[in-house]
């Protein structure tokens, strides 16, 4: 019988986040401070009103609608100082919830509106990440993104940046942005440059478009991982290919529900994917815009789908296995993480897990760092802290 895990135990587990966007993951207070300092006008002055303009949960009708929130955050991320700060704070927030390795992604080209050069944009973010690593020891990799709705040439420029910064903090290339009507193969030249230079790549695919998009990302663009892959289940043959080749899926459940790629946690394919043996990693996508953390994502899977601690450990290990790290470095990290995970046990005196099946969480309030609304029993469980035996 599965036991309900204290939220704090999940927070303490060593974790990864391989799919998190810088411009979707700022602290709300930082957005307001940066706007004040830079003289940028935000669509709302009041903190709660601003949060609801950014958090797309209740109003978002599609992925395209969801992407509008980024216009707000991008408006304050046009200086080196703001980029460095945002990267540092994101690393800090990750560290505080047990993330040991994360891969931050963003589109440098979207941060050049006030004259920054793309290389300076990359350097600024790397400075923030290096500072966080010095201070906390958190490990990171940076992915630079081309944008589907922009030209093939702009993606090629981003790929050139990835080549220039290879072995200097950039570990991969990604293609992001609206999937519908913007096939990845149009950005094939960028992917080819990446592959020619033996660099890792991933692509958002199968989120707002069907499995053909995933097929194209893998077979036309050479993607080593798939961002989302929500609609992979519609093509059993491709699903088996992805499984046989151990192509990791960067699953972002809450984000998928927001963008209507999935209707609820219960009907999201992640449970089937894990059950079938696919290499599933659990990620946030956007900590602010989706109002989530890795801990919250795992907790939701635990409480809604009944995933026990062993299952959570499986997806956590998959996260470390799927990192764009050199193999030897990854093997050392994995060995250390596995030993650490072995120390965590589900408390034997915890109540039996009763899965929730509401399909929707209560509306969030925008206060960073808060845990999701827990039942009073879960709160009582988490109060004394986790038992580590
Ligand atoms: Zn994404």
87 Cα to the center of ligand 1, angstroms = 16
| Residues 388 and 6: beta-carbon distance below 8 Å | no
Are β-strands 99-106 and 139-147 bridged in parallel, bridged antiparallel, or unpaired? parallel
Work out the average pLDDT over 290-300. Answer: 97
Does 87 have pLDDT greater than 90? yes
20 Cα to the center of ligand 1, angstroms = 7
How many domains is the chain partitioned into structurally? Answer: 1
Does 313 have pLDDT greater than 90? yes
Is residue 142 very low, low, confident or very high in pLDDT (cuts 50, 70, 90)? very high
Quote the domain boundaries for residue 63. Answer: 7-381
Helix axes 294-305, 309-321, angle to 10 degrees: 140
Q: Is residue 153 part of a domain?
A: yes
pLDDT of the residue at 60: 64
What's 230's domain CATH number? Answer: 3.20.20.140
- The one catalytic residue in 97, 207, 297, 361 is 207
More confident site: 282 or 352: 282
Work out the average pLDDT over 77-94. Answer: 98
pTM exceeds 0.75 = yes
33 Cα to the center of ligand 1, angstroms = 25
285 Cα to the center of ligand 1, angstroms = 5
Q: Is residue 267 part of a domain?
A: yes
pLDDT of the residue at 64: 63
Q: Is residue 353 part of a domain?
A: yes
pLDDT of the residue at 369: 45
Instruction: Please confirm, yes or no, whether 179 is among the known catalytic residues.
Output: no
Locus of tokens 């499984």:
243
Work out the average pLDDT over 321-336. Answer: 97
Q: Is residue 387 part of a domain?
A: no
DSSP letter string, 321-379: HTSSS-HHHHHHHHHHHHHHHHTB---TTSPBP-----SSPPPP---TTPPPPPPHHHH
267 Cα to the center of ligand 1, angstroms = 20
Does 278 have pLDDT greater than 50? yes
Work out the average pLDDT over 9-13. Answer: 98
Indicate the SS3 state at residue 139.
Answer: strand
- pLDDT tens for 156-169 read 999 999 999 999 99
The whole-angstrom separation of Cα 189 and Cα 109 is 17
Q: Is residue 80 part of a domain?
A: yes
């Amino acid at each position: 019988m599965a036991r309900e895990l204290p939220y704090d135990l999940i927070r303490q587990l060593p974790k990864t986040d391989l799919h998190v966007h810088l411009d979707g993951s700022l602290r709300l207070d930082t957005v307001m401070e940066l706007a004040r300092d830079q003289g940028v006008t935000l669509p709302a002055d009041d903190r709660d009103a601003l949060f609801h303009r950014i958090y797309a949960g209740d109003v978002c009708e599609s992925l395209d609608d969801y992407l509008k929130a980024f216009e707000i955050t991008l408006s304050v991320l046009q200086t080196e100082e703001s980029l460095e700060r945002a990267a540092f704070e994101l690393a800090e927030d990750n560290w505080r919830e047990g993330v040991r390795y994360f891969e931050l992604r963003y589109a440098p080209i979207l941060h050049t509106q006030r004259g920054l050069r793309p290389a300076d944009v990359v350097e600024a973010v790397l400075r923030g990440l290096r500072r966080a690593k010095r201070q906390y020891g958190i490990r990171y990799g940076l992915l630079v993104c081309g944008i589907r709705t922009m030209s093939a040439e702009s993606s090629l420029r981003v790929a050139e940046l990835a080549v220039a910064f290879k072995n200097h903090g950039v570990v991969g290339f990604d293609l992001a942005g609206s999937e519908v009507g913007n096939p990845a193969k149009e950005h094939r030249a960028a992917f080819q440059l990446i592959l020619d230079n033996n660099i890792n790549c991933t692509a958002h695919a199968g989120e707002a478009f069907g499995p053909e998009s995933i097929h194209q990302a893998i077979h036309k663009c050479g993607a080593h991982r798939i961002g989302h892959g929500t609609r992979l289940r519609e093509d059993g043959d491709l699903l088996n290919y992805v499984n046989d080749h151990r192509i990791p899926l960067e699953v972002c459940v809450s984000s998928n529900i927001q963008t209507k790629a999935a209707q609820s946690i219960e009907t999201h394919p992640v449970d089937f994917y894990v059950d079938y043996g696919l290499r599933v990693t659990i990620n946030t996508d956007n900590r602010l815009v989706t109002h989530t953390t890795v801990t919250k994502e795992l907790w939701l899977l635990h409480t809604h789908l009944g995933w026990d601690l062993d299952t959570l450990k499986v997806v956590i290990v998959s996260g470390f296995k799927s990192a764009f790290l050199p193999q030897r470095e990854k093997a050392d990290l994995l060995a250390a993480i596995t030993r650490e995970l072995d120390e965590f046990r589900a408390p034997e005196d915890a109540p039996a897990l009763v899965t929730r099946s509401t399909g929707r969480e209560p509306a969030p309030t925008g206060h960073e760092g808060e845990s999701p609304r827990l039942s009073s029993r879960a709160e009582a469980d988490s109060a004394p802290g986790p038992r580590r035996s």
